[in-house]
Each structure stands twice: as structure tokens, then as C-alpha cells.
Amino acid sequence: MTMKTQMIDAGFAAFRLSGLHRALAPLTRGHGVILTFHRVRPTGPQVTGFAPNRLLEITPEFLEEAILVTRRLGFEIVTLAEGCRRLAQGGPRFAVLTFDDGYRDTREFALPVLERREAPFTVFFVPGFIERTARLWWIELEEALRRLDEAAIETDGGGLRLPTRTLAEKNAAFARIYWALRARPEQELLDGVGALAQRAGLDMSAISRALFLDWEEAIAFSRSPLVTTGAHTMTHRMLAKWPAEMARAEMAQSKAALEARFGRQVDAFAYPVGDPTSAGPREFEMAGAVGFSCAVTTRPGMVFPEPAARFGQRTLAGRGSLGDAALRGSVRPVEPRAKVECRSEPCGPEVRPPRQARSSTALPQLGKLRLVGAGGQP
Ligand SMILES: [Zn+2]
């Protein structure tokens, strides 16, 4: 047995022990799955200490396991366009791999795995991250609390002043501030985290450069034959919290900017954060109106054929000895004017939650594995 085989076998054992394998099994009842990843890097999940955003990370080994297990369970890994097509028109069970935000490590650590396993995937880029102008508020919050001994924020709902000297204090403060600000208008969130970042002396432009590909790198990456390029707004805004004009512009401009740079049509879209406070019926309709043929959220649920083709969802997360994992996603083919054709009614834009049986069969089991809450959403 080669070292590599041993490693993979050990990985599978760990994967099974982690419960992820068992957790994936109920998904075989679904028609398809969309897995959402963020960061992929070897060292992240092993980080001990203050790392509240590690829910957004997996290792390359975990990614490889996820691909292998997904295929073992009988899901064919296909492009997002093909997944949307099968959802609308039927076809064999499918899995779609998606990576949000356009992190540098998607190219450095995920791409080699995806190429080795010949797995097509989608990357949802944010022009503002590529140009270092959009705010990474969840990273800013982590980095600020890492440096500060005390964190104070002001919101319209009142002020918070929290000690952040010890690991326990930092973790508690992160959760408290994160959720307090997530409940507020996004500008308030940005202002509150921005003030903390300033007080901590963060150079966010440097952090952004380290985390995200620039245009030249993103364009080269987009040429990989396995990559589908998708949009994720201009500045990673929680669209439902903003006026319609701004939400529409964020979507349409990101599509146009990526198409101009990549020289190809961008048909897919992912709603930043993707929970009900970030994307709702208004945004679902907009996605079709600005020309996307397939748009994904991050909500719990399963992807099923008709009659729920227009709003299938799933969420899955696990934490095992291979590290933290966040496999999340959902898919919703948008309006018929877009490219996904729906052969039968209904295929309109209105929201219909997944059938109770869909989410309730999968989620309780996933919950045992530490289901990612909204904290794993950006
Ligand atoms: Zn995102």
C-alpha cells in the first residue's frame, strides 16, 4: 500500500467517523446536491486558538474525500448549468461543487484536487474583492478581535463593550458582535466592524491582497476547462437589506464586469450570505430579470425535481478529524426567460419553501454534526 493510499484510507476512516458519510446518505433520496465551499487550505482547520471563521474552511484532503464520497453515493458531479438543466428537465442524480468569493486558495489548493479528480466546479467571484475595494467584514471582525483587548461597538439598538483578552473572551465577543450586527442594517454592520478594524490598526487592503486573486490571476484561473465563472455581487452585499435599485445594480454590474473581464457569458449567481435576511422573493426575481439562468442560496433543503425544481435547497456541514467542513448550498433555476427551461408549471419566481420532508429528513442528522448556522454563510 502506498503512502498515498494509506493516507486516503485513513482519510476515509476519519470521514466515516466524523459522521459525514452517514450524514450524506439521506441525500441519496434527493435528486441533486449543491455543495458550497469557501476556503480550502491545508493549515486552516488545524489552527488552534481564535479562528471563528474556520467554519468556512476545509482542507484539500477533505475536498477530495467529499468528491469521492459524493460519487460513491451515486451522484454524478456536473457543472452548475447541467445541474440546473437536470433539475428542470430531469436526468441522473447530480452533485455540483461551488466555491464562493474567489479566494486565492481555491486556485492554489482546490484546483489541483479538482483537476486530479476531473471534477467540474463553479467559482462565484466578487469584483470588489478582486479590486480590494469590498469589505470583508467577517474577516475584519476576526482580525480586529485577535488584536484588541476590548471591543466596543455602537448600534442603534444600544452599545456593547466586551473584554477580548482571553481566547474564551474573544470567541464570546465574536459571536455576540457578529449576531448583534447581523441583525442590523448592513451599513450599520459595516460601520461597526470598520470602527473596530480601525481601532485595531488593520491594513485590510493587505489582508484582501493575501486572500483574493487579482484580475490577472482570476482571468487565468477562469480559463481552466473545469471552471464555471459565476457572479456574487459587486461588493458582497446582503441584497435584501438594501433598496431595490442598489440590489439590482449589485447583481447586474457584477455580471457585466465579470463578462467583460473573462470574455464569456456569466449565467450563474450566488446570493451573498444567502439566508432569508439576505435574499428573498425580490432578489430571486431580480436574478432572472438581470439575465442569470441559475441562482443559488445557502438555505437548508434538498434539490428535487418537479414540483420543487425552482426552489430546491440543501445544507450540510460537518466537523470531523479532517477538519471543519462547510458543505452548503442550494439551487434555484430562475425565470423561464433565462436559460433554464421548465417543462411544466410551476417554474415561476415565487418562493416556496422546500417540502417539510425534504429538510426535516436530512437536517436532524446533520445537526448532530454541528450544522453550520448563519455564521458559516459569507
Ligand atoms: Zn460570499
CA 343, distance to chain mean position in Å, is: 29
Average pLDDT over residues 123-128: 97
d(CA 219, CA 71): 29
Question: Which one is predicted more confidently, 148 or 343?
Answer: 148
What does 32-86 look like in DSSP terms, one character per residue?
A: EEEEEE-EE-SSGGG--SS-GGGGGEE-HHHHHHHHHHHHHTTPEE--HHHHHHH
For residue 137, report the distance from its CA to the centre of ligand 1, in Å.
11
For residue 140, report the distance from its CA to the centre of ligand 1, in Å.
14
Give me the pLDDT at residue 251, please: 97
Average pLDDT over residues 20-24: 52
For residue 6, report the distance from its CA to the centre of ligand 1, in Å.
35
Question: Taken in order 17, 20, 23, 26, is the CA torsion positive or negative?
Answer: negative
Is 70 exceeded by the pLDDT of residue 217?
yes
Percent of the chain beyond pLDDT 90? 46
Is 80 exceeded by the pLDDT of residue 277?
yes
Q: pLDDT-based confidence at 228, cuts 50/70/90?
A: very high
Q: Are 315 and 366 in contact (CB under 8 A)?
A: yes
- Specify the CATH number for 3-132+215-376; select among 3.20.20.370, 3.90.1150.10, 1.10.3720.10, 1.10.40.60: 3.20.20.370
For residue 154, report the distance from its CA to the centre of ligand 1, in Å.
25
120-129, 181-190, 311-320: which is most confident: 120-129
For residue 377, report the distance from its CA to the centre of ligand 1, in Å.
7
For residue 7, report the distance from its CA to the centre of ligand 1, in Å.
31
d(CA 231, CA 215): 14
For residue 272, report the distance from its CA to the centre of ligand 1, in Å.
5
pTM of the model: 0.77
d(CA 111, CA 340): 27
Is 90 exceeded by the pLDDT of residue 302?
no
Question: Which one is predicted more confidently, 47 or 134?
Answer: 134
Q: pLDDT-based confidence at 306, cuts 50/70/90?
A: very low
For residue 72, report the distance from its CA to the centre of ligand 1, in Å.
29
Is 90 exceeded by the pLDDT of residue 373?
no
d(CA 334, CA 84): 9
For residue 244, report the distance from its CA to the centre of ligand 1, in Å.
20
Q: Where are the domains of the chain?
A: 3-132+215-376, 137-204
Q: Mutual orientation of helices 167-182 and 137-147 as an angle, nearest 10°?
A: 150
* Mean pLDDT, the chain, whole residue set: 74
Q: Are 347 and 336 in contact (CB under 8 A)?
A: yes
Average pLDDT over residues 113-124: 97
For residue 10, report the distance from its CA to the centre of ligand 1, in Å.
32
Average pLDDT over residues 244-265: 97
Q: pLDDT-based confidence at 247, cuts 50/70/90?
A: very high
Give me the pLDDT at residue 74, please: 85
Average pLDDT over residues 264-271: 93
C-alpha cell at 64: 477530495
Is 50 exceeded by the pLDDT of residue 48?
yes
Is 50 exceeded by the pLDDT of residue 190?
yes
For residue 30, report the distance from its CA to the centre of ligand 1, in Å.
25
d(CA 147, CA 299): 33
Amino acid at 86: R
CA 252, distance to chain mean position in Å, is: 20
Q: Are 222 and 262 in contact (CB under 8 A)?
A: yes
Give me the pLDDT at residue 86, please: 83
Is 50 exceeded by the pLDDT of residue 87?
yes
